[in-house]
Amino acid sequence: MGSRRNFLEKLTVSAVGLPLLYHSNPLFAASEAPYQGPVLKVAIMGLGSYGTRVAEAMKDCKRAKLVGVISGTPSKIKDWQAKYDIPKKNCYNYENFDAIKDNKDIDAVYVITPNGLHKDQSIRVAKAGKHVICEKPMAVNADEAQEMVDACKAAKVHLLIGYRMHYEPKTVEVIKMRQNGEFGKVKFFQGQSGFTIGDPSQWRLNKELAGGGAMMDIGIYSINGARYMLGEEPIWVTAQETKTDPIKFKEGVDETIQFQLGFPSGAVANCLSTYNMSHLDRFFMTGSEGWVEMQPSTGYGPIKGRTHKGELNQSHTTHQTLQMDGMSQLIFEGVQPIVPLDGEEGLKDMKIIDAIYEAAETGEKVAISL
């Protein structure tokens, strides 16, 4: 009888607690009260594989909506119109997209074209009075990035860079742990970013379009990761380049670069960027009181990680969905992510990349001033 009475008492308490659980749990609250606030109306420029990934992710956005496209391929525009229900009046090509200036149905343009095109296209979007979202790296060097920052300031529009990891839940948790001192004095970061690239004719291996090689595409993850994991800005860099296939990786297109960053606190980062080794997507950081390892650390799928306290178990949501909803909240409400993703943030990474290339070429330690 005692066991049965205890069971009924627990059941009653649980039932009483259900309304509280329902109203306090954000998952229940989300289903109970659909989002009614402003929605960022976005046109995607560049309808390649990553543009498609963003478009698919935006189907689940509550604060952002895909409403337009800009492409140099008429057949792609037609396919996207049908697939994403995009009106013809919101479809443009690379010659006429300045006309978005008069289109009130578009708030922002997400530039997802080859790196070498980012500067001119982003500046044209800004001059048309639309917010600019630009995929990383934001340009091919720091000078171009500065031009973009200046143009968007002059046009009084936002310039945001596609740093999806700044919204990724496990990444955010690690940054919070570091901010709360849970790792103690952080001393060392290691970033490994690489894969074996395929088709030698693709734009990523074209110096004019890519601005470089692996560093511009995958190495930037370790650069940005070192900065947000350590919570500091680097003050010097050394770097070494290795090239085993000069036919595939022509002059100015890096295959593999190892680089080391020094920080004001004395912390150091040791990183690898490569197009010639696969299964490299790992961050490790250690401090006086603890450590964290993330692998995969920046891939599109679920991020996995563990610390001295155990596994990171935050739930996975498609990164681009979180990014686009977060950017909408930033633009309309001024809500900033835990790490900035504005043009100035992208400019810092470009300055570091410039310094890495200089260090690899000269063999000297290069000072960094951000």
Active-site residues: which are they? 136, 221
Report, in this order, helix, strand and coil percent for the chain, each rounded to 5: 45, 20, 35
3-class DSSP assignment, residue 320: helix
E strands in 5-134: 40-45, 64-70, 91-92, 108-111, 131-134
Query: Sheet harboring 291-294: ordered strands across?
Result: 310-311, 305-307, 291-294, 276-287, 186-196, 268-274, 256-262, 236-242, 366-367
String of DSSP letters for 208-244: HHHSSSHIIIIIHHHHHHHHHHHTS---EEEEEEE-S
Distances (CA, A) of 169 to 124, 157, 314, 323, 337: 34, 28, 6, 11, 11
Per DSSP, what are the bridge partners of residue 68? 43
